[in-house]
Structure 1
Amino acid sequence: MKTKWVLILMLFNSGFLAAQDPNFYIFLAFGQSNMEGHARYEAQDTLVNERFQVMSAVDCPEFGRTMGEWYPARSPLCRCKTGLTPTDYFGRTLIKNLPDSIKVGVINVSVGGCKIEFFDKENYSSYIAESPDWLKNMAKEYDNNPYGRLVEMAQLAQKDGVIKGILLHQGESNTGDKSWPGKVRDVYDNLLSELNLDPKETPLLAGEMVSAEQGGKCASMNAIVGTLPELIPNAHIISSEDCEAVEDGLHFSAEGYRKLGRRYAYQMLLLLD
């Protein structure tokens, strides 16, 4: 009997019995500039319910954030100098519509201008090596392994809560690439494998590029994005229709991000229900 209690105490001290809160819903987010956040956040975007948290994927001393720690999800939610993203109003909308007992956490690892190959577990290093200096500089913030950083942060987060889904907004840099859905599937499958996630319980929510009616320069990519559910049964496409864009035809305005983020949330609420 004494030996039994000694073993239990050892397990507790080693962290194996650490409490994981089933009411802490965690979501991973990755992509390029529209997931990173291109629009400047405003005062209204810095007011947030404490039930909505962000795990910082990089050190942000100017915001008092340390990599791997949870903080109230005030913009910016990606890196220190990024802007408003779909994850901002995704989280806000979830906690507004979920019971008060539920907390929501997001982890956002994104880099503007990157192709989906940036998150390729096997070939990310060669992709980064051939990239322009501006992208290399952003990759350095993730120790030149963005996929690895996302997995690292997700594994930390799993000690605190339960991963409920993955958000993606990427494709502008792969416009016209019909092999893109297969590349996304590979990233998704790798994440599920490394994090021991059930594909039936882990939806992938993929947002469309700026729409043609908003002058989207990459709107043709939306047809390719729309084929994702053919390869990933639990993939769901988030429409960008009527989401306001800015003049460059590539990025959403702040209001566009808010609307797109809410749409990610509405889809997730249906799946959670």
Structure 2
Amino acid sequence: MKPILGKFLLIVVILALGHSGQAQDKNFYVFLAFGQSNMEGAAKSEGQDAQVDRRFQVLQAIDCPDLKREKGNWYPAVPPLTRCHTGLTPVDYFGRTLVETLPDSIRVGVINVSVGGCKIELFEKDSYKSYVETAPDWMINMINAYDGNPYQHLVALAKTAQKDGVIRGILLHQGESNTGDQQWPKKVKGVYENLLSELGLAAEEVPLLAGEMVSAAQGGKCASMNAILATLPEVIPSAHVISSEDCEAVSDGLHFSAAGYRKLGRRYGNQMLSILGY
């Protein structure tokens, strides 16, 4: 009886491992996104944005009953991709650009946890509380939508996503609220390295793509931050800076228009495609 029992247990283990292996799809490329209002999405989506290839999906970050979406589930990546009433973001056309070029066998998933107006300090794992204590009231509601800790909320969602696919990159658009902060690249490095560590990722396999602020030519009020952002690859060798040149902005000098988000998002996408070898 013992040899039969041993064979039975071996079969059970093999089947269990096989089932576990099938659960994670190596052809499901997942990307994390975080930042402030431009990553959150400040432009209203338009009719042309309503249709999306079903190979491009979003992991819902919070419950949105009006959208019939529940936190932690995958849905076709029709905007909004952040919270329930946010707008178009570079992530929209990042994902669309990828699925247009990648083989049909590959799906793309995104997770976007962003808070308008926040400094990078909000995403610092060990010191975010001191920043939250000084945050204005209008920001607190956005922070609370992520259980009071956007960084940890992103990590938790990313761990959920790792059961389904493989994280292949991290997208950042943040810096307006840190304009002039020479320590910003080092702060970003800390957030990036914490994400890699908590998720068991390697920098050489999971690059960081960071977008520029609205350019001076477009009237960007924080365009001076782009000189600091340009030094990011010196601090993070796996970082890539995404140009905002000619990306249309709106009159406030801080945010892109819908057309600007589409162009910037495509640039994020094309950079990622180049990294992937396409």
Check whether TM > 0.5. Answer: yes
1:235 to 215, 234, 239: 239
- Residue matched to 1:259: 263
Counting only pairs closer than 5 Å after superposition, residues 53-64 of structure 1 correspond to structure 2 as 53-64=57-68
Work out which of the two has the higher radius of gyration on C-alpha atoms and give 1 or 2: 2
Give the number of equivalent residue pairs. Answer: 273
TM-score by length of 1: 0.97
Counting only pairs closer than 5 Å after superposition, residues 90-239 of structure 1 correspond to structure 2 as 90-239=94-243
Is the Cα–Cα contact under 8 Å of residues 33 and 112 in structure 1 kept in the other structure?
yes
Is the Cα–Cα contact under 8 Å of residues 18 and 159 in structure 1 kept in the other structure?
no
Cα distance in 2 for residues equivalent to 1:199 and 1:252: 29
Per the alignment, do residues 12 and 97 of structure 1 end up closer, same or farther by CA in structure 2, a change over 3 Å counting? same
Report Cα offsets for 1:59-103 as digits up to 9, x if no partner: 111101111100000000000010000000000010001111110
Cα distance in 2 for residues equivalent to 1:262 and 1:8: 48
The aligned amino acid for 2:56 is: F
Cα distance in 2 for residues equivalent to 1:238 and 1:8: 50
What are structure 1's unaligned runs of at least 5 residues?
A: none
Cα distance in 1 for residues equivalent to 2:132 and 2:9: 49
Q: How much has 1:129 moved relative to structure 2?
A: 1.4
Is the Cα–Cα contact under 8 Å of residues 113 and 135 in structure 1 kept in the other structure?
yes
Report Cα offsets for 1:145-196 as digits up to 9, x if no partner: 1000100000000010110000000000000000000000000000000001
Is the Cα–Cα contact under 8 Å of residues 12 and 18 in structure 1 kept in the other structure?
no
2:71 to 67, 70, 78: 67
The aligned amino acid for 1:120 is: E
Cα distance in 2 for residues equivalent to 1:208 and 1:24: 28
For the aligned residue pairs, the C-alpha RMSD in angstroms reads 1.6
What are structure 2's unaligned runs of at least 5 residues?
A: none
TM-score by length of 2: 0.95
Cα distance in 2 for residues equivalent to 1:96 and 1:220: 34
Q: State the identity as a percent.
A: 68
